[in-house]
Amino acid sequence: MSHQEEVHFWSRGCRLAGTLALPRKGGGPPCPVVVQGPGWLGLRSAKLYRPYHAALLEAGFAVFTLDYRGFGDSEGDASYIDPNGQVDDIEAALDYLATRSEIDSRRIGAFGSGGTGGGNAVAVAAKDPRVKAIVSQVPVADGRDWLHRMRREHEWLDFLARIEADRGQRAATGQGELVPARDGILVPTPERRATTVKSDVDARITELVQLASAEAIFAYRPIDLVPRIAPRATMFICVEDDSVTPEDHAFALYEAAQGPKRLVVQTGTTHYAAYERYQTLIIPLIVDWFRRFLVSGDVQVREATPIADISYLSLP
């Protein structure tokens, strides 16, 4: 029977909240672990990811989830969103897990989903060799491009002008512009406005964030980092014709990755609908990927001929 524990750890002076789920309570050898940082405006308690965690626990993995600084039950400035700072928080989670005797710190995987969540899995593996394999679902490769493509060109130019004016205002007054968290930085699609997939999370997210958060996203480029992960394993998952996080971001990351890699494309669906529609196909692929590179054989992932595979999934 699995066992769950609420824990706290520290990152850059902030006390963060985490949940450590173990596949069994007490005894037995140390477990491989999969660490997940939430996606854009996400929380560790999101109902969306529970089926993923349940499958990993059933397969014998521990699962560690965290609330980034400023989110959920963690300390920090809730008004400033910095994906690169979130990567620091995931690294701090790895430091914490190294203190836990139940965890095999030689067998750590990172899972991330939902825009910056997927990109953060890439970034933490590139920075920290303790991560031996990743699964990056609907990832952002280039933060500036991500924000640009949500807007028509005149809207983009207006957005840049507001950011420039905000920079001057902050320098002159110490205070910058605050914008709505859900549509002041990203531009929500009609599907995002209608979906209830994240309703449990939306109710707990701060209402206003600093416009300066956009500059932090401009500086966010997992595409520059992904080659550093080799020879460790990378798996990317995307949605064909995704209007929220364009699938060419996942393709670009896949092409730039140098070690064992796989790209899975979900067809005939949309960004949010894919979570439920393809769940029974995607979750076993994720579990098998981590089993292959964290449990079976050499956890250092040395292969004479690294695998490279692109798969298209379709359902009637």
Q: What is the CATH number of the domain that holds 37?
A: 3.40.50.1820
Residue 120 is assigned to a structural domain of this protein = yes
- Tokens standing for residue 294: 């964290």
Q: Looking at residue 117, what is its pLDDT?
A: 96
Residue 40 is assigned to a structural domain of this protein = yes
Contact 29, 62 (CB under 8 A): no
**Interstrand relation of 103-115 and 62-66 (parallel, antiparallel or unpaired):** unpaired
Residue 134 is assigned to a structural domain of this protein = yes
Per-residue pLDDT tens, the chain, 316 aa: give them.
789 999 999 999 999 999 999 998 777 899 999 999 998 889 999 998 999 999 999 999 999 999 999 999 999 999 999 999 999 999 999 999 999 999 999 999 999 998 999 999 999 999 999 999 999 999 999 999 999 999 999 999 999 999 999 999 999 999 999 999 888 999 887 877 777 666 777 778 888 999 999 999 999 999 999 999 999 999 999 999 998 999 999 999 999 999 999 999 999 999 988 888 899 999 999 999 999 999 975 544 444 345 568 888 887 7
Residue 262 is assigned to a structural domain of this protein = yes
Residue 215 is assigned to a structural domain of this protein = no
Q: Name, in order, each residue with C-beta under 8 angstroms of 131's C-beta and a sequence gap of 6 or more.
A: 35, 94, 108, 109, 110, 124, 125, 232
- Supply the range of the domain harboring residue 48: 3-143+221-313
Q: Looking at residue 297, what is its pLDDT?
A: 53
Residue 184 is assigned to a structural domain of this protein = no
3-class DSSP assignment, residue 84: helix
Q: Name, in order, each residue with C-beta under 8 angstroms of 155's C-beta and a sequence gap of 6 or more.
A: none
Residue 211 is assigned to a structural domain of this protein = no
| Beta-bridge mates of residue 237 | 137, 264
Q: Looking at residue 303, what is its pLDDT?
A: 42
- What is the C-alpha separation between 130 and 302, in angstroms, rounded? 15
Q: Looking at residue 299, what is its pLDDT?
A: 43
Is the pTM value of this prediction over 0.75? yes
Q: Looking at residue 301, what is its pLDDT?
A: 40
Number of domain units in the chain: 1
Residue 204 is assigned to a structural domain of this protein = no
